[in-house]
Amino acid sequence: MSETKYYEQTGVAMTCRSFNEYKEMFMLDDLLLNKGKILDVASGASSFVAELSKRGYDAVAVDPLYSLSLEGMNDFGSREIQIATEKIDKIKDFFVWDSYESIESHNQIRINSFEQFLESYAEEEKYFSAALPSLPFEDETFSLIVCNHFLFLSRRTAHKTPATK
Ligand X SMILES: C[S@@+](CC[C@H](N)C(=O)[O-])C[C@H]1O[C@@H](n2cnc3c(N)ncnc32)[C@H](O)[C@@H]1O
Shortest distance (Å) from residue 12 CB to ligand X: 4
Q: Is 92 helix (H, G, I), strand (E, B) or coil?
A: helix
Residue 140 neighbours by CB under 8 Å, 6+ apart: none
Q: In this complex, which beta carbon is closest to ligand X, that of residue 3 or of residue 57?
A: 57
Compute, in degrees rounded to 10, the torsion defined by CA atoms 58, 64, 68, 74: -70
Q: Does 15 bind ligand X (CB under 6 A)?
A: yes
Shortest distance, CB of residue 20 to ligand X, whole angstroms?
12
Assess contact for 84 and 113: CB atoms under 8 A: no
Candidate residues 23, 37, 87, 149; the one interacting with ligand X per rule CB under 6 A: 149
Total length of the chain: 165
Interaction residues for ligand X, span 39-58 (CB under 6 A): 41-44, 46
> Does residue number 83 form part of the binding site for ligand X (CB under 6 A)?
no
Q: What span, in angstroms and rounded, lies between the C-alpha atoms of 21 and 46?
A: 10
Residues in the interface with ligand X (CB under 6 A) total 20
- CA atoms of 56 and 95, how far apart (whole Å): 35
Q: By CB under 6 A, which span of 67-75, 98-106, 120-128, 145-153 interacts with ligand X?
A: 145-153
Residues in touch with ligand X (CB under 6 A): 12-17, 41-44, 46, 63-65, 131-132, 148-150, 152
